[in-house]
Amino acid sequence: MKKQAIFAFIICFTFILFGCSHESKSEGGQVGIDSGDPSIGEEFNQRNDQEVDYDEPVEEDGAYADEVEKVPDEGNISNLNRKIIYTAYLEIEVKDYEQAFDEISRHATNNGGYVVESSMSATTNNQMKGQVTVRIPQEHFQTFLDQVKNVSNKVKKSSVQGQDVTEEYIDLESRLKSKRIVEDRLLNFMENAEKTTDLLAISKDLAEVQEEIESIIGRMNYLKNRADLATVTIFMSEKSVQISSKLNTWEQTKDQFKKSVNFLLNTFSTIIVFVIGGLPILFFVGIIGIGIYLIVKKRIKHKKGGPKEPEP
pLDDT in tens, 29-81: 433 434 344 444 444 444 444 444 444 444 444 333 344 344 445 444 444 58
pLDDT at 290: 86
Handedness of CA 64, 65, 71, 77 (dihedral sign): negative
* Exposure letters 151-180 (e unless 16+ CB within 10 A, then b): bbeeeeeeeeeeeebbeebbebebbeebbe
pLDDT per position as a tens digit, 151-174: 999 999 999 999 999 999 999 999
Q: What per-residue confidence (pLDDT) applies to 22?
A: 44
Residue 283 lies in a domain: no
Contact 47, 32 (CB under 8 A): yes
Name the residue range of residue 149's domain: 53-242
- Any domain includes 44: no
Is 277 within the bounds of a domain? no
Higher-confidence position of 101 and 59: 101
What rounded mean pLDDT belongs to the chain? 77
Assess if residue 169 is contained within a domain: yes
In a domain, 75, yes or no: yes
What are the DSSP E strand ranges found in 52-113? 84-94
Eight-state DSSP code of residue 5: H
Question: Which is nearest to 160 in space by CA: 234, 86, 84?
Answer: 86
Q: Is residue 114 part of a domain?
A: yes
pTM assigned to the model = 0.52
In a domain, residue 187? The reply is: yes
In a domain, 266, yes or no: no
Pairwise CA distance, residues 97 & 128, whole Å: 6
Number of domains in the chain: 1
